[in-house]
Amino acid sequence: MKTVLRFSLLGAFLLSGHAFAAEPKKFDISMFPAAEINQERVVVRLPEVENEADMMVELQVGKKMLVDCNVPRFAGNLEQHSVKGWGYNYLTLGKVSDPISTLMACPEGQKKESFIQIYGQGFFVNYNSKLPFVIYIPQEYEVRYRLWRADAQAQPAMIE
């Protein structure tokens, strides 16, 4: 009985991760420009999933900073460019503002390290497992991403 339960749990575990279990295919990125001095070329490769049209990718660009209880953020945009002769797109981080923040009175000595994100245009992109997302950022920043999935059924809007 215990053996059957173990194999059942193992099978359920393996099947539950099947949607994202496939390793993303390697795509040659040699046609993309090399990163400039003090920049990094970051590549996000996504696995194939069912209904890619129902998904979006949120690219989060930011950096870690010591912050207090206030909510800081940067403002900036990801700008899309094309690889000449290839038609592939890549993203570059445009000018980033100095951090802006709420102005709450915070207790002294309560600072912690936190990821401070840049907000602006170009951070939501369509899911595409066929081509990687190539992003050029200054070295002091990092890229994270989140996947967004739409509901299977659209809800009707009401006429008022």
Q: What pLDDT, on the 0 to 100 scale, is given for residue 25?
A: 64
Q: What pLDDT, on the 0 to 100 scale, is given for residue 11?
A: 43
Q: In the predicted model, what is the mean pLDDT of residues 64-74? A: 94
Q: What pLDDT, on the 0 to 100 scale, is given for residue 6?
A: 42
Residue 116 above 50 pLDDT?
yes
pLDDT tens-place string over residues 21-60: 456 667 899 999 999 999 999 999 999 999 999 999 999 9
Residue 65 above 80 pLDDT?
yes
Spatial separation of the C-alpha atoms in residues 157 and 58, rounded to whole Å: 26
- Which sequence spans correspond to the domains of the chain? 39-103+110-149
Residue 61 above 70 pLDDT?
yes
pLDDT tens-place string over residues 89-102: 999 999 999 999 99
Closest CA to 21 of 49, 45, 43: 49
Q: What is the pTM of this model?
A: 0.79
Q: Which residue has the tokens 């990094």?
A: 40
- CATH 3.40.50.2300 assigned to domain 39-103+110-149? The reply is no
For residue 155, the one-letter residue type is: Q
Please, how many CA atoms are within 13 Å of residue 33, restricted to the half-sphere of its CB?
16
Average pLDDT, the chain: 87
